[in-house]
Chain A
Amino acid sequence: MEPLLLVKNVEKSYKKSVNTAKALEQVSFEIDHGEFVGVMGPSGAGKSTLLNVLATIDTPTNGDIFIGRDNIAKMDEEKLADFRRDHLGFIFQDYNLLDSLTVRENILLPLAIAKKKPAEIAKRVDEIAATFGISDLLDQYPYQISGGQRQRTAASRALISNPKIIFADEPTGALDSKSATDLLESMSSLNEQHETTIMMVTHDAYAASFCRRILFIKDGRLSKEITRGNRTRKQFFQMILDELAQMGGAANDAI
Chain B
Amino acid sequence: MTLFDLALKNIRRNMKNYSLYIGSTVFSILIYFTFATLKYSGDIGGMAEASKQIQAVMGASAFVLMVFVAIFIVYSNSFFMKKRKKEVALYSLLGVRKKSIGFLLFFENMVIGLVSLIIGVVLGFLLSRGLLSILLKLMGMEVVAGFTFSMDALINTCLVFFVIFLFTSLLGYRIIYRFKLIDLFHAEKKGEEIPRVRVITAIAGVASLAAAYYIALQDVLESEVWRLLGIGTPLAVIALTVLGSYLLFDSVLVYVLSVLKRNPRWAWKGLNLMTASQLLYRIRGNAKTLTIITVLSATTITAGGAVFGVYYNAEKDVQKMTPYTFMWEGQKQDIDPAIVESQTSFNSKLLRLPYDETEMEYAVIDESTFDELAKNLEWTDIQKLHRDEVFAIDGFYDERWSDKLESVTINDTDYPVAHFYEQAPFNTGTLGSTAIVVPDELYGDIQSEEKLVQAVQVSDYKKRADLSDKLAAATDNFSSRTADYKAVVESSGALLFVGSFLGLVFLVATGSIIFFKMMTEAEEDKSKYAVLHKIGVSNADMKKTIRGQIGIIFAVPLALGLIHGGVALASVSNLLSMNFLVPVIIWMAAYTLIYGIYYFATVRSFNKTIRREYMEG
Q: What residues make up the interface of A, taking CB atoms closer than 8 Å to B?
A: 55, 57, 77-78, 81-86, 88, 90, 92, 96-101, 105, 108-113, 115-116, 118, 121-122, 141-143, 157
Do A122 and B264 have beta carbons less than 8 Å apart? yes
Inside 8 A of B541's CB, which chain A residues have their CB?
113
> How distant is the Cα of A98 from the Cα of B194 in the complex, in angstroms?
14
Do A96 and B531 have beta carbons less than 8 Å apart? yes
Do A99 and B191 have beta carbons less than 8 Å apart? yes
Inside 8 A of B539's CB, which chain A residues have their CB?
77-78, 81
- Distance in angstroms from A108 CB to nearest chain B CB is 6
Q: B268 within 8 Å of A by Cβ?
A: yes
Q: How large is the interface on B (under 10, 10 to 19, 20 to 34, 35 or more residues)?
A: 20 to 34
Do B535 and A84 have beta carbons less than 8 Å apart? yes
- Distance in angstroms from A226 CB to nearest chain B CB is 30
Do A85 and B268 have beta carbons less than 8 Å apart? no
Do B268 and A121 have beta carbons less than 8 Å apart? yes
Q: What residues make up the interface of B, taking CB atoms closer than 8 Å to A?
A: 190-191, 194, 264-265, 267-274, 277-278, 280-281, 528, 531-541
- Distance in angstroms from A222 CB to nearest chain B CB is 25
> How distant is the Cα of A112 from the Cα of B274 in the complex, in angstroms?
10
Do A121 and B531 have beta carbons less than 8 Å apart? no
Closest to A122 in B: B264
Closest to A110 in B: B535
Do B537 and A112 have beta carbons less than 8 Å apart? no
Which of B271, B281, B534 has a CB less than 8 Å from the CB of A100? B281
With contact pairs A82-B536, A84-B534, A100-B281 given, residues A113 and B191 touching in the complex (Cβ less than 8 Å) = no
Q: Which of A84, A100, A101, A111 has the most CB of B within 10 A?
A: A100
Which of B264, B268, B535 has a CB less than 8 Å from the CB of A90? B535
Do B265 and A118 have beta carbons less than 8 Å apart? yes
> How distant is the Cα of A118 from the Cα of B537 in the complex, in angstroms?
18
Inside 8 A of B532's CB, which chain A residues have their CB?
98, 109
Do B273 and A85 have beta carbons less than 8 Å apart? no
Inside 8 A of A96's CB, which chain B residues have their CB?
531, 534
Inside 8 A of A57's CB, which chain B residues have their CB?
533-534
Do A98 and B269 have beta carbons less than 8 Å apart? no
Do B280 and A100 have beta carbons less than 8 Å apart? yes
> How distant is the Cα of A154 from the Cα of B228 in the complex, in angstroms?
63
Inside 8 A of B533's CB, which chain A residues have their CB?
57, 81
> How distant is the Cα of A215 from the Cα of B540 in the complex, in angstroms?
37
Q: Which of A55, A101, A111, A157 has the most CB of B within 10 A?
A: A101
Do B536 and A84 have beta carbons less than 8 Å apart? yes
Do A101 and B268 have beta carbons less than 8 Å apart? no
Which of A77, A82, A101, A157 has a CB less than 8 Å from the CB of B274? A101
> How distant is the Cα of A116 from the Cα of B269 in the complex, in angstroms?
7
- Distance in angstroms from A83 CB to nearest chain B CB is 7
With contact pairs A111-B268, A118-B264, A121-B268 given, residues A101 and B537 touching in the complex (Cβ less than 8 Å) = no
14 contacts between A and B (CB under 8 A): A81-B536, A84-B536, A90-B534, A100-B194, A100-B280, A100-B281, A109-B535, A110-B536, A112-B271, A112-B272, A113-B535, A113-B541, A122-B264, A157-B535
Inside 8 A of A78's CB, which chain B residues have their CB?
538-540
> How distant is the Cα of A207 from the Cα of B432 in the complex, in angstroms?
101
Do A108 and B538 have beta carbons less than 8 Å apart? no
Known: A77-B539, A86-B536, A112-B269. 11 other contacts (CB 8 A): A82-B536, A82-B538, A98-B532, A100-B191, A101-B277, A105-B267, A108-B273, A109-B274, A118-B268, A121-B268, A142-B191
> How distant is the Cα of A157 from the Cα of B535 in the complex, in angstroms?
9
What is the predominant secondary structure among interface residues of chain B facing chain A?
A: helix
Inside 8 A of B281's CB, which chain A residues have their CB?
99-100
> How distant is the Cα of A108 from the Cα of B261 in the complex, in angstroms?
13
Closest to A144 in B: B191
Do A113 and B270 have beta carbons less than 8 Å apart? yes
What is the predominant secondary structure among interface residues of chain A facing chain B?
A: helix
> How distant is the Cα of A171 from the Cα of B268 in the complex, in angstroms?
27
Inside 8 A of A101's CB, which chain B residues have their CB?
273-274, 277
> How distant is the Cα of A163 from the Cα of B578 in the complex, in angstroms?
68
Inside 8 A of A100's CB, which chain B residues have their CB?
191, 194, 274, 277-278, 280-281, 528
Do A112 and B268 have beta carbons less than 8 Å apart? yes
Closest to A78 in B: B538
Inside 8 A of A121's CB, which chain B residues have their CB?
264, 268
Do B268 and A81 have beta carbons less than 8 Å apart? no
In the A-B complex, list the 6 residue pairs whose CB atoms are closest, starting with the nearest: A85-B536, A84-B536, A100-B281, A118-B264, A81-B538, A100-B277
Do B277 and A85 have beta carbons less than 8 Å apart? no
Closest to B535 in A: A110
> How distant is the Cα of A96 from the Cα of B540 in the complex, in angstroms?
21
Do B191 and A98 have beta carbons less than 8 Å apart? no
Closest to B614 in A: A57
- Distance in angstroms from A185 CB to nearest chain B CB is 24
Inside 8 A of B273's CB, which chain A residues have their CB?
101, 105, 108-109, 112
Which of A81, A88, A98 has a CB less than 8 Å from the CB of B277? A98
Do B535 and A85 have beta carbons less than 8 Å apart? yes
- Distance in angstroms from B276 CB to nearest chain A CB is 9
- Distance in angstroms from A213 CB to nearest chain B CB is 25
> How distant is the Cα of A100 from the Cα of B257 in the complex, in angstroms?
13
> How distant is the Cα of A105 from the Cα of B540 in the complex, in angstroms?
21
Closest to A98 in B: B528
Do A105 and B264 have beta carbons less than 8 Å apart? no
> How distant is the Cα of A100 from the Cα of B535 in the complex, in angstroms?
17
Closest to B529 in A: A98
Which of B194, B267, B538 has a CB less than 8 Å from the CB of A141? B194
> How distant is the Cα of A86 from the Cα of B271 in the complex, in angstroms?
16
With contact pairs A100-B278, A141-B191 given, residues A108 and B534 touching in the complex (Cβ less than 8 Å) = no
With contact pairs A90-B535, A113-B536 given, residues A108 and B194 touching in the complex (Cβ less than 8 Å) = no
Inside 8 A of A122's CB, which chain B residues have their CB?
264
Inside 8 A of B272's CB, which chain A residues have their CB?
112
Do A85 and B537 have beta carbons less than 8 Å apart? yes
- Distance in angstroms from B286 CB to nearest chain A CB is 13
Inside 8 A of B535's CB, which chain A residues have their CB?
84-85, 90, 109-110, 113, 157
Do A143 and B191 have beta carbons less than 8 Å apart? yes
Closest to A95 in B: B531
Inside 8 A of A90's CB, which chain B residues have their CB?
534-535
> How distant is the Cα of A115 from the Cα of B265 in the complex, in angstroms?
11
Inside 8 A of A116's CB, which chain B residues have their CB?
268
- Distance in angstroms from A67 CB to nearest chain B CB is 13
> How distant is the Cα of A96 from the Cα of B532 in the complex, in angstroms?
9
> How distant is the Cα of A83 from the Cα of B533 in the complex, in angstroms?
12
- Distance in angstroms from B295 CB to nearest chain A CB is 27
With contact pairs A101-B273, A108-B268, A141-B191 given, residues A113 and B537 touching in the complex (Cβ less than 8 Å) = yes
> How distant is the Cα of A50 from the Cα of B177 in the complex, in angstroms?
48
- Distance in angstroms from A109 CB to nearest chain B CB is 7
> How distant is the Cα of A141 from the Cα of B190 in the complex, in angstroms?
12
With contact pairs A82-B536, A86-B536, A143-B191 given, residues A112 and B270 touching in the complex (Cβ less than 8 Å) = yes
- Distance in angstroms from B617 CB to nearest chain A CB is 8
> How distant is the Cα of A78 from the Cα of B533 in the complex, in angstroms?
11
Closest to A119 in B: B264
Closest to B615 in A: A77
Inside 8 A of A81's CB, which chain B residues have their CB?
533, 536-539
- Distance in angstroms from B583 CB to nearest chain A CB is 44
Inside 8 A of B267's CB, which chain A residues have their CB?
105, 112
Inside 8 A of A99's CB, which chain B residues have their CB?
191, 281
Inside 8 A of B265's CB, which chain A residues have their CB?
118
Inside 8 A of B278's CB, which chain A residues have their CB?
100
